[in-house]
Amino acid sequence: MVTTGAADSKTATAIQFVKTIIEHDEHQLEGVFFYQAGVSNANTLTSMPSDELQALSQWQSLVEQHQINLYLCITAAEKRGMTDEEQLNNIAPCFVVAGLGELVELTNKCDRVIQL
C-alpha cells in the first residue's frame, strides 16, 4: 500500500521495493493499493521537475513491463481533486479505480501487507 505522495522520497522506496519483489521469485505481488496522499501518484496533471522522481512514469513502466495491478482508492482521489469522469479525467489509465473493498480483498489473498 502506497500512502505517500508522488514527490515523497518514500514513494521512490515503494517503486524500488515493487521492482525488487518482481525481480525475485520468492514472493508474488498481488497488486499495489494507493491510498491517502498516495493517490497523487496517479494524477496526470502533476508536473514534476525533470531532475526529480517521475513517479507516474515509473508506475506506468511497471504496469507495461510486468502487468501488475495498481489500485487507486477513488474516495481518497476525489478528496484531492481527482476524478475518473469522462470529460474531466485526470487519473492515469494504468490505475484501476477501486474502493476500500478492493483493499480488503487484496489483503485476504496475501500473507503480508506492506505500507509505505
In this prediction, residue 25 has a pLDDT band, given cuts at 50, 70 and 90, of confident
- The stretch 84-112 carries a mean pLDDT of 93
Distance in Å from the first CA to the final CA of the chain: 6
Provide the whole-model pTM. 0.93
CATH classification (class only), 9-109:
alpha beta
Active-site residues, by number, are 73
* Dist CA 99 CA 96 (whole Å): 10
Residue ranges per structural domain of the chain? 9-109
Q: What is the dihedral of CA 14, 9, 60, 114, to 10 degrees?
A: 20
Q: Alpha-carbon Rg of the chain, whole angstroms?
A: 13
